[in-house]
Amino acid sequence: MTASIRIARGALMAMLAFASAGAAAQGAANYPAKPIRYIVGYTPGGTADMLARAVGQKLTEAWGQQVIVENRPGGGTNIGTEIAARSAPDGYTLFMPTVANAINPTLYPKLNFDPVRDFAYIINYAKVPGILVVHPSVPGAKVD
């Protein structure tokens, strides 16, 4: 079993536990009663899209209600993020944030959403490693 599958499975279990607890606390025993949108700010085929589709499929199976991954690329993820931020706060729209959502407020002075105020964090279900590569002649570069 690959690490990404283990991450997705662990994330799914945590999401299901959280969603079940949240639904019970709100008295929404019949949630979800309609399909759920899962917005991804990238084109199909990338890491965020693949993770959303894997989790969406498992949530569909667990909830018995369709989770539809909706790719809304463009604007450095700002298009998809704004669509998610403007959606009704009823639990029927999920959003796949990425590091771009942490960076974009520093790059774009007038966003039509606030990434802190307009979203409620549910769970971190994946970590994607990053590396920094420089030429070996750069001072401080470690060469083994």
- Superfamily of domain 3-107 in CATH is Bordetella uptake gene, domain 1 (3.40.190.150)
Identify the pLDDT of residue 10: 55
Identify the pLDDT of residue 127: 85
Whether pLDDT at 40 is above 90: yes
CA distances from 135 to 80, 113, 130, 143, 144 (A): 35, 39, 17, 10, 13
Query: What 3-state class would DSSP assign to 94?
Result: strand
Mean pLDDT of the chain: 85
User: What does the pLDDT look like over 53-102, one tens digit per residue?
Assistant: 999 999 999 999 999 999 999 999 999 999 999 999 999 999 999 989 99
Model's pTM, two decimal places?
0.73
Identify the pLDDT of residue 129: 83
Distance of CA 112 to the CA centre of its chain: 19
Rounded mean pLDDT of 28-56?
A: 93
Name the least confident of 28-32, 46-50, 52-56: 28-32
